[in-house]
Structures are given as C-alpha cells and as structure tokens.
Amino acid sequence: MPTPLNISGSRAAAILGLSQYQTPLQVWLQIMGREFCEKNNYEYPVFEGNAATRFGSAFETAIINYTERKFNLPITDREKVFEDDYITCHIDARMADDILIENKTTYSGSYFSEWGEPGTDRIPQIYQIQVQHNLMLTKFSKCILPVLIFPVRQQEMIDNGIIPEEIDTEKWVEVLAEMGFLKFYEIYPHEELQGLLRQHYADFWNNHVLTGTPPEPKNYTDVKMICREPVGTIVCTPEIENLISEYKQIGSEISSTGTLAKRREQLKTQILNYSRTAGFVEDDESRDKWIIRSADGKKLASYGKNEKGVYVFR
C-alpha cells in the first residue's frame, strides 16, 4: 500500500461528516492517493477549483497585508506547515508570537445568512472546526480571522469580466474595507472540541486509512466512486426488497428536488451500498451490470451503464 497523506485542517469538517463540499469517503480517497484508487478501481477525486477558490487565492496576500497594517503587528510564517504524526495544518500566517491568521472570502448573501457578529467567534461551523484544528497543532493563543465580503457572487463577477488574477487586489481590499466589507473575528482554543477532533481522527485513521477500508458512503456519488464495474446477480434480503419497492413507488411522484427526491437518493445509496458488499453470482444477464433479485428469483432492479455509457440504477 502506498504511503498515505494526512489529515489536514481543510479536511477536518469532512472527516466529521459536517462538510457540504466533501464526504468522509471522498476525503478518504484523496488521502489514500491516486495509485491506491487505480489499483482498487476507485475514482480518485480531483478538485480543479471554482470562482470562489480563485478569488480566495488571489486576495489572500492583500488581506494579510491589510491585517498587518490594521493591528500594527508583524505577520510572519506565511504558508507554514505544522505536523503531529498523521495530523497536519497549513496556516495562512502568524501574527506577533502566537496569533493565528486564517483568511476567508465570501459574498454578501452567504455572509449575512451564515456569519455572526464581528469580533466574536460566530463563524460557520466548517471554519470553526478548521480553526480549532490549526490552533490545536500550532498551540497558538488565539486566531484572528479576517473575512472579505464581495457584494455579489464570485462567479457573477467573473461572468461580468472581473478576473481575480488580473485586478489590483490591494486596492480592492482597501475600498471594500472602507465600505465595511472586511470583518474580523476572534476565536480561542476550545480544548473539549479539540479532544473530540483527535478522537474522530484516530477512528478515521485506524479504521479506514491504515486498513484501506472505505467509510460508509453518504450519497449516490460516493457509491459510484467505489463501485466502478458492477457485475453479477445478487439475491437480496427482504429489507432491501422493501427499499427497492419504496424507491420505485415514489419515482413517478417526485420532482428533482424536495423531500421525496432526497429520500429516493437515500434509498438508492442504501441499496447500492448493500449490493457492493453482498455476495453475487455472474450469469448471462449480469455480465456487465448488477442484477438484484428477490429470494424467489424475481428481478427487482439493475445497476449498470446505459446506451450512453452512464451508470444508472433502475
């Protein structure tokens, strides 16, 4: 098995199952690495960035420079890495001797719905976890978190011809700060939360990374990433037969969103995750897909590529 990577602050919320962007399984695939995924016929996750990450990266230095001027304290250790066995963190910067600087950018709609009063620690949960992770490893006394707020979505700015890599970010930060669109938060170490983080990390590392065992899939995307070539006929349990029946019953009654749509997605995930670990036999009908049958041989569902080469469950 290749040497795995590490548990970083940016992966912390996902490992706890609290990230809206990644699941524990997707982070596990990243940590295990491309070679491991190719060997086991798993899909290796590749994130190529988006408008939000482009603006965040482009404005990072300008925000730090403004923060240094505002507090009149030296900022050092840009991009420094701290390590504690398999746990690491990559900080934006250190101010004075022991103050962590962690930059964020967002847009107004997200800020006013997700952030609390400036000067407090009322920041979104995923950032709170990341900050506590970084404070745990650095052992700094507190974190000052500047958040730069764009009036509109970052993608909308790009669509209107504003390219983050080409603009004067220092001037933008000055102007946005004067308009009240640069806020500062203070977060202090929370020992109980940090202890819980270490417990979750140890469980994830020992039970999944070191053993090469994937975490439980959380959605249909997860299942597709670790079930790349489904083949065989599966005789399912009565419980799975009931789930398939429910899945098909609500299929014609829903739109692509809403409560029933989410339930149908959950059912599909449960059924396919069961099929992934169930024993199967290969026959003429299931040479290139999964066939799920009841105990009496009735065909209940299938999962495989359609005529366009897309995996579908039906």
pLDDT in tens, 32-63: 999 999 999 999 998 878 999 999 999 999 99
Give the pLDDT score at 4. Answer: 55
Angle formed at CA 111 by CA 109 and CA 113, multiple of 5 degrees: 70
What is the average per-residue pLDDT within 140-164? 96
Give the pLDDT score at 49. Answer: 84
Q: Any idea which residue has 């950018």 for tokens?
A: 105
Residues 183/146, Cβ–Cβ less than 8 Å = yes
Q: How far is CA 88 from CA 71, 97, 120, 144, in A?
A: 28, 20, 26, 20
Give the pLDDT score at 153. Answer: 95
Which token pair is 290?
């999964």
pLDDT band at 126 (very low <50, low <70, confident <90, very high): very high
Mean pLDDT is lowest, of 177-186, 229-238, 276-285, for 276-285
Counting every residue written for the chain, the total comes to: 314
**Residue 119 pLDDT exceeds 70:** yes
pTM of the model: 0.85
Q: Any idea which residue has 């990644």 for tokens?
A: 22
CATH of domain 51-189: 3.90.320.10
**Residue 132 pLDDT exceeds 50:** yes
Q: Exposure pattern of 263-291 as b/e (b: 16+ CB <10 Å)?
A: ebeebbbbbbbbbbeeebeeeeebeebbb
Enumerate the CATH 3.90.320.10 domain ranges in the chain, comma separated: 51-189
DSSP 130: H
Which token pair is 165?
């890599």
| CB neighbour class for 192 (10 Å; exposed up to 12, middle 13-18, buried from 19) | exposed
Give the pLDDT score at 281. Answer: 74
Q: Alpha-carbon distance 48 to 27, whole Å?
A: 15
pLDDT band at 2 (very low <50, low <70, confident <90, very high): very low
Q: Alpha-carbon distance 29 to 159, whole Å?
A: 33
Residue type, 276: R
Residues 16/207, Cβ–Cβ less than 8 Å = no
What is the average per-residue pLDDT within 92-105? 96
